[in-house]
Structure 1
Amino acid sequence: MRYFILLISTLGIIACSRTPDQPAGPVNRKALTRDSLRRIAEARFQDTRTASAGAIREIIETREPDDRYKARGVSLYSSVLLPKLYIENNFNLLWINHFDSIHKVEEMSAFLEDIIFHGLIPEHYHAAEIRQSLTELAKDSALIYNSTFLANLDLLLSDAWFMAASHLYFGKIDPESLEAQWGIRRDKPDIPFDRYLKTMLSQETVEEGFRHFYPPHPGYEAMVAEAKRLTTLKDGDFSIKADLKNSSLKPGDSSAYIAEIKRKLAFLGLYTPDTLTNPDKYDDRLLESVKKLQEHFGYNTDGAIGKNAFKALNMTVEQRIGQLYVNMERLRWMPDSLEHTYIQVNIADFTLDVFREGDTLLRMRTIVGKEYRETPVFNARITYLVFSPSWTVPPTIQRKDVIPEVRRNTGYLARKNMKVYDSKGRLVDPASVNWSRDGMRYTIRQSPGAQNALGKVKFMFPNKHNIYLHDTPSRNLFARDERTFSSGCIRIEKPYDLALILMSDMEGWTPERIRQAMDAGIEKTVVLKNPAGVYLTYLTAWGTKAGVIHYRTDIYNRDAEMLKALREKHTKWKT
């Protein structure tokens, strides 16, 4: 009623705004009316804001013990930051400060709808309730003056911010809840999500505000963009059924399968169709596309279309999206800052990279654990090297691999340059041991030399898994596409080059001396002057700084469990 009386009074003033003494001149009554109505709306909205603050305070003050705050009948997640934020703000609205400005709400709603492309489920962040609120407001503009409506919407928005920001920063899944644990320590500092919210509301778009919480990995946003692109392709996906009878297609070949291969590559964005060439012929343009596909999947880029190329072609769009989502979460688990010099092994990619101040110094192939002897994920520091190492056979390998060979032929030990020791460290004649009954009572050690399983050097970072990097005499295995041949430790392709980098600041250790120590046949331990970080990771998809997306085989079948966990509603939160 107060605003109705004010409106009538205003209109009366406008009607009488010209007096007989005034000179005739144009009076823009429409503009005057519009301005007056705007002032009335502003005054009304300020009253609504005051009432909304009371409604928010009541929600916060009347929560039952051990219960959660509620808005629009929905349980909120934040029990610490939410009341802190509103108390500091005198319980005032944060997201809507003017009766005709809801752009922040619309931006937040749009971001939450798109959070699916980060591998997170929009409905887990009140997206449906916020969307419904906007729909109701669009149908009934008077709701902008409804204090209860605005108070509930504001609480939903802030709570969604805290939970989405927390999950983008720390990750949604607790790695320790998974069967295959992720042992890399995050070492992420706590972050003031409430302060970031205030900054975003006053200075940034919602997307810019959330970008502060993305993993620092340079290809993360490329993964988000690719997930969005692939989602548009899902309905048109198709597979290629081909039987090449263990052979492969090579440049110059002709086959009925080639036209379909070209079509699938074009569908994936890797091939530009050329109607002028023979569709059934393996031409140069197809060769270029096949090599791109092989590179994106970590295969040897020989251009041959065989088992692995078809495996890459027939990886469904849905599977690609799933791998992107799972690995975005793994990137969120990584520490924000790493050592000055550090080594990263991607187990699923069979590669090792050495970084210094963000620059890649060295890249090499690796061999990792077999499916039943998986290389674990964790981080540590390389503190020392052992040149010309001996190898004490681990109990598991001794029981499962060595003893069965010795039982068949005791000459196996001599051939492998292995010696047997009793519990007191005394040398034992292998022929005197009952290997079926007493084999595990003895220690088997392989002497340094050309056959030594550890090669010419091992890189030690003491850990509970007894895992380390080492050279290997089996160099031919590095040429394979998939390299799961070890018993858990990581065999590396370029041990000499790695030693050069790690010992570059150690006086007296020239390249020649390092080479001599590797070939000496006498075990020598060298403690590093500056230990380097080492991170054994497991990424089956990632993006590069240039936006190229890579996929790898999930060799240990870990992705499915993570994808399932990402789709489940969270029961724990940090805010």
Structure 2
Amino acid sequence: MTTRGGYDRVLMAVAATFLAVSATSALAQGDTPRNSAAELAIDAAIPLPEPANVPPPTASDFKPDTTATVSPNQAKAPETSKPVESVAAPVADPAKSVVSPPPAATATAPEPAKDPVKAASNVPAADQPVADRLRDLMATKGPRYFDRKAERAAVEKFYAGRDYAPIWTQGGNLTTAANGVIARLKDAAFDGLNPADYPVPDFAAAASTPDALAEADLKLTESMLDYARQAQSGRMHWSQVSADIQYPEHPVDPNEVLANVTGAKDASAALEGYNPPHKLYKLLRAKLAELRGGHDGAPVIIDDGEPLKYTPARGKNAPEAEAQMSDPRVPKLRAKLGITENADDIRYDAKVAAAVRKFQENADLKPTGVLDDRTVKALNTPKRDKQIDTILVNMERWRWLPRDLGAPSIGDAYVILNIPDYTLKVMQHGAQVWTTRVVTGKPGQHATPLLSETMKFITVNPTWNVPPSIIYNEYLPALQQDPTVLDRMGLRLERARDGSIHISQPPGEANALGRIRFNFPNKFLVYQHDTPDKNLFARDERAFSHGCMRVQYPDQYASVLLNIAMPGERYSPERIRSMYGSSEIDLKFATPIPVNITYQTAFVDDAGKLQFRKDVYGRDATMISILKNGRGKDLENVVAHAQPSYARPKGPLPSSVNVSDNSFSSNSGPNFFERLFGGGGQPTPPAPVGRPSRRVFTR
């Protein structure tokens, strides 16, 4: 037993030690671990004194530590539990002493869990085996399911944040979110996509083992991300179609998709929301459903399952085999193949097998009559005909366009020009403000490019700076034949000291650009402008230019745009025409207006009628070929195209050709891009920006 005096000394030593710990933790830790049972008991028993001059603690200040317990097994088997170390008290220097508390205050710390991760897991016990397997699969086979680095990182982070609990099942049963995602993937044809590109695992069959459930969970996550990415950005990259297309990238964020879809009340609607929001896209979607027929226009989808086979009875007069295969998918199969007799019969009989065999022959499959995986995939591939194919590729092109076509600060105003329809529309507040006819580029090298840029200013009385391609391909050869041709056309030729050539036409009524040029600087060096050749607007097909777009009523177009960008200025067509003369006038917009050049060979007009236009540039044919012959993810790669040259042309000129007296210097003055669009500080046209890809093809 400890005497009263000795006990007081022990208490004073404990208090001194505790104060020393508060001042200098490094000295106080000494040789005894900070988290030892002895120190934990002391900390619990003696709170830190708030006044500096409190009296020393007494025995009544000590209370047993009820937070630490000793199990009966530990008491009976001390060899399995590490004993608490103690140092005898008192000693000469109590400030440096560590003493054991009285036996009443002594407690043994609980044995730490052998697996701290599992101990801290919030995964329900029924899902823990699946979670363990998901952790292993992501660590060892993650790239097998998610070959895109960003997607793999997002999936790993998402699963880790939920202790690898399965996303789509609870206790082996599908969640509400899972059912919504599966429904959307199976109805992908509604959105002009192919359900076969987003396979849905068989969770019913996978429920037998944690391994199968974990794999099914990852496969559904993979299909969901594939759908979201392709619904938003397209199944193919625009660079695969042509070198004269450039739209801004808007890739999907896999982190956002995972959080958005799994946290939504309606997972199907959340996933569907990655499709284009544009009204014309949605109208095309509805027309696609009408053309395909079926319930609400949705194609009948056959679920995956075990192969189905019909085996006839042997013998000429033998009755039909009694042991026919049955499957709940057969009624859908009958509907898909047009079998109206016994529509609800689940038996895979001779009639169904014969219809499957005929389908296989038409689909270039081996005509076995067996409903196998390849046949199911072919059955689920959307029906194709010319009109449906045309709608599909037009829906695909809508995915390339910016989600916000207009500028929010001016009522979401924008310009949209449809090349195959030869029309230009000005939109604001979701409605058409004005429209006019246009002339577009010739098929081939002079095709008008597809792009989205912003119109920054209008030039009245523009100078026509002849593009390098026209100088190379048309004017230099013409000069060799007739040295006076430029003079007769009213063109001005300048030659720099380095031999480069610049040809321009001064402002005037006969200028090739007419009286107004609409500037939206872009790497293709195209713009919209007036024209002295008004007769072409009377034609139905108007692909005659070198790539730029000629506007039928430029003075009205200018006044509409200026009143949107600067509503207080009150520009009218008459005010615009009053500026016509021999000097260039730039009218800069306070707010740039987006310009979207599109290629819509199928669209729904204002009366709700589906319209088709000639595939003047062959864009539809190229895209249909890619979709039919390509596969899934391979279609999303960027193609690297050679960039156009902006160097001034050089070449020999006949001796009798007139050259302007004030030839420009080769070391100063605006470059061609600046001459074309104005703004001396305009940078060199940027190279197209594409999404990163694993493979890059060079044309």
Q: TM-score, normalised by structure 1?
A: 0.64
Q: Aligned letter for 1:171?
A: G
Partner of 1:11: none
- Secondary structure, aligned partner of 1:349: coil
CA distance in 2, matches of 1:481, 1:184: 28
Q: Contact conserved, 1:76 with 1:159, CA < 8 A, in 2? A: no
Partner of 1:514: 576
- Secondary structure, aligned partner of 1:329: helix
Pair 1:176–1:217, CA change in 2 (3 A) = same
Relative to total residues, which structure has the larger helix share, 1 or 2? 1
| Matched ranges for 1:248-263 at <5 A | none
- Is residue 443 of structure 2 the alignment partner of residue 371 of structure 1? yes
Q: Percent identity?
A: 29
Compute the displacement of 1:412 (Å).
5.4
Q: Aligned letter for 2:611?
A: H
- Is residue 589 of structure 2 the alignment partner of residue 533 of structure 1? no
Q: Contact conserved, 1:180 with 1:558, CA < 8 A, in 2? A: no
Q: Contact conserved, 2:495 with 2:502, CA < 8 A, in 1? A: yes
Q: Contact conserved, 1:161 with 1:197, CA < 8 A, in 2? A: no
- Is residue 623 of structure 2 the alignment partner of residue 562 of structure 1? yes
1:468 aligned residue (511, 517, 527): 527
CA distance in 1, matches of 2:483, 2:495: 20
The superposition leaves residues 284-338 of structure 1 with CA deviations (integer Å, 9 ceiling, x where unpaired) of xxxxxxxxxxxxxxxxxxxxxxxxxxxxxxxx97122222222222211211223
Pair 1:494–1:98, CA change in 2 (3 A) = farther
Higher relative contact order (CA 8 A, sep 6+): 1
CA distance in 2, matches of 1:493, 1:75: 48
Compute the displacement of 1:404 (Å).
6.0
- Secondary structure, aligned partner of 1:365: strand
CA distance in 1, matches of 2:151, 2:494: 61
1:81 aligned residue (131, 151, 154): 154
CA distance in 1, matches of 2:220, 2:421: 40
Q: Contact conserved, 2:465 with 2:504, CA < 8 A, in 1? A: yes
- Secondary structure, aligned partner of 1:536: strand
CA distance in 2, matches of 1:469, 1:495: 9
Q: Contact conserved, 2:233 with 2:250, CA < 8 A, in 1? A: no
Q: How many residues align?
A: 416
Compute the displacement of 1:69 (Å).
4.0
The superposition leaves residues 52-76 of structure 1 with CA deviations (integer Å, 9 ceiling, x where unpaired) of 2222222123338xx4248xxx999
| Matched ranges for 1:165-204 at <5 A | 165-186=228-249, 190=253, 192-200=256-264, 203-204=265-266
Pair 1:51–1:455, CA change in 2 (3 A) = same
Compute the displacement of 1:110 (Å).
3.9
- Is residue 510 of structure 2 the alignment partner of residue 451 of structure 1? yes
| Matched ranges for 1:58-69 at <5 A | 58-63=136-141, 67-69=143-145
Compute the displacement of 1:481 (Å).
1.6
CA distance in 2, matches of 1:384, 1:569: 42
- Secondary structure, aligned partner of 2:452: strand
Structure 1 portions without partners, runs of 5+: 1-44, 138-142, 235-315, 426-439
Pair 1:149–1:497, CA change in 2 (3 A) = same
Q: Aligned letter for 2:220?
A: L
CA distance in 2, matches of 1:152, 1:545: 48
Partner of 1:52: 130
CA distance in 1, matches of 2:189, 2:437: 34
- Secondary structure, aligned partner of 1:462: coil
- Is residue 226 of structure 2 the alignment partner of residue 163 of structure 1? yes
Compute the displacement of 1:225 (Å).
3.3
The superposition leaves residues 5-41 of structure 1 with CA deviations (integer Å, 9 ceiling, x where unpaired) of xxxxxxxxxxxxxxxxxxxxxxxxxxxxxxxxxxxxx
Q: Contact conserved, 1:541 with 1:549, CA < 8 A, in 2? A: yes
CA distance in 1, matches of 2:197, 2:188: 10
| Matched ranges for 1:340-351 at <5 A | 340=410, 341-351=413-423
CA RMSD of aligned residues (A): 3.6
- Is residue 403 of structure 2 the alignment partner of residue 336 of structure 1? yes
Q: Contact conserved, 1:68 with 1:75, CA < 8 A, in 2? A: no
Pair 1:80–1:212, CA change in 2 (3 A) = same
Q: Aligned letter for 1:551?
A: F
The superposition leaves residues 190-222 of structure 1 with CA deviations (integer Å, 9 ceiling, x where unpaired) of 47011112123xx1152x122221111113233
1:231 aligned residue (272, 289, 292): 292
Partner of 2:77: none
Q: Aligned letter for 1:350?
A: Y
Q: Aligned letter for 2:387?
A: R
Q: Contact conserved, 1:175 with 1:181, CA < 8 A, in 2? A: no
Pair 1:459–1:63, CA change in 2 (3 A) = same
Q: TM-score, normalised by structure 2?
A: 0.53
Partner of 1:322: 389
| Matched ranges for 1:94-133 at <5 A | 94-97=167-170, 105-127=178-200, 130=201, 133=202
Partner of 1:479: 538
Q: Contact conserved, 2:232 with 2:252, CA < 8 A, in 1? A: no
Pair 1:174–1:516, CA change in 2 (3 A) = same
Compute the displacement of 1:122 (Å).
2.5
Pair 1:531–1:106, CA change in 2 (3 A) = closer
Structure 2 portions without partners, runs of 5+: 1-122, 298-382, 638-691, 694-699
CA distance in 2, matches of 1:402, 1:62: 64
Q: Contact conserved, 1:383 with 1:460, CA < 8 A, in 2? A: yes
Between structure 1 and structure 2, the one with the greater Rg is 2
Q: Contact conserved, 1:168 with 1:332, CA < 8 A, in 2? A: yes
- Secondary structure, aligned partner of 1:560: helix
Partner of 1:523: 584
Pair 1:419–1:220, CA change in 2 (3 A) = closer
Pair 1:114–1:507, CA change in 2 (3 A) = closer
Compute the displacement of 1:469 (Å).
0.7
2:470 aligned residue (394, 397, 407): 397
The superposition leaves residues 532-570 of structure 1 with CA deviations (integer Å, 9 ceiling, x where unpaired) of 222222232234687543322221112233334444221
